Amino acid sequence: MRILILGGDGYLGWAQSLYLSSKGHDIFIFDNLMRRHFDLEHNFSSLLPIATLQERVKAWKEVSGRQIQFRIGDTTDYEAIAAVFREFQPEAVVHFAEQRSAPYSMIDRKHAVFTQVNNVVGTLNVLYAIKEFTPACHLVKLGTMGEYGTPNIDIEEGFIEIHHKGRSDILPYPKQPNSFYHLSKVHDSHNIMFCCKIWGIRSTDLNQGIVYGFETDETVLDPRLATRMDYDQVYGTALNRFCIQASVDYPLTVYGQGQQTRGYINLRDAIRCIELAIASPAQEGEYRVFNQMTEQFSLLELAEMVVKQAQEVGLHARMVHVANPRVEAEEHYYNAAHTRLIDLGLEPHLLSGSVLQSLINLAITQREHIDPELIVPTVNWRTTKNEVVHTNDGVSE
């Protein structure tokens, strides 16, 4: 198939591109390199060094004999994305091209606005491009389990049957997003569902849990094919951060009580889920939702697992509870359904000691490149940077 991967230079997008290319698909990457620009602006970097997109594509051709096409461009530029649809005529589009960090979206007004414009407008442009140039194309969109929040009932896969005053209906599951980033994902979901209804396009919305891992069968073939491994407090996940902290004798920072529970999925499973969704596409006019996760853990459970694994290799790992910079329930019910991808054939790789050990070993080998200051949370949900506000009469306050 001809598969367009939006955001194909990112952590998931690059691993996905290699995986689908290895299966014989014709891959075209469209990416604005925003994630790399953020690193340059803030002196962040992936713990695992990554090559330029040009170097990556060249290395893949040398290793596999397969060509991946790419173009640098922005989904918020309709003419740029429309040109790719006209020329490539994708049969499936995998949409990773969004600002993906909740802390980033909560830094200040500027970052919140960028997140919502980039994500919501970019997705609207993709929807219009599908309508205009490839109406039979299947959109596979990466959502997030964070759209649901932490309700006091079981989380279903996208929809829930409601009984109210003697009547029943199947409705979109209620959303309780916890950041401007998660809000942008909710807006995306609503826009996609609406476009499926009015234009008859087909889409699979994958509400993904937190992804861990940094290796796939393809990325290990050549160092130039490596994907990202982020550990900073803006883009790094809690599990990554814990493994890095353990490796440099820094206490594992558990936010608040540590009972915050979320869904998780291995990188290898995440890219397999996309393949399964593409292989069994949504029908014309269908908007469907899969919860893309395989297991769930609390922060405290993750920290305890990392401490145990780190101590087994002689590290002096321990944890500490710190003030929670986020506004969230620190103790709550959480039980999310995730059967639809299993039904399609997913065979999960669950979080194990060997997986944790690989993350810790990477941190140890790259220890000299770790900047502990990047781990400390500085983005607070309750406050933002000082800004100059202009009133209608032109007076600053």
Which residues are identified as catalytic? 144, 181, 185
Alpha helices in 43-105 (DSSP H): 53-64, 78-88, 102-105
CB atoms within 10 A of CB 355: 20
Residue 360 in contact with residue 309, Cβ under 8 Å?
Answer: yes
Q: Which two tokens stand for residue 172?
A: 């979109």
| Cβ contacts of 42-47, under 8 Å, gap ≥ 24 | 42/234, 44/230, 44/232, 44/234, 44/235, 44/374, 45/369, 46/228, 46/229, 46/230, 47/229, 47/230, 47/231, 47/244, 47/362, 47/363, 47/366, 47/369, 47/370
Question: Which residues 6+ apart lie within 8 Å of 214 measured at CB?
Answer: 48, 226, 227, 228, 229, 267, 358, 359, 362
Q: Is the dihedral of CA 288, 293, 296, 302 positive or negative?
A: negative
Residue 180 in contact with residue 264, Cβ under 8 Å?
Answer: no
Question: Which residues 6+ apart lie within 8 Å of 259 measured at CB?
Answer: 298, 299, 300, 330, 331, 332
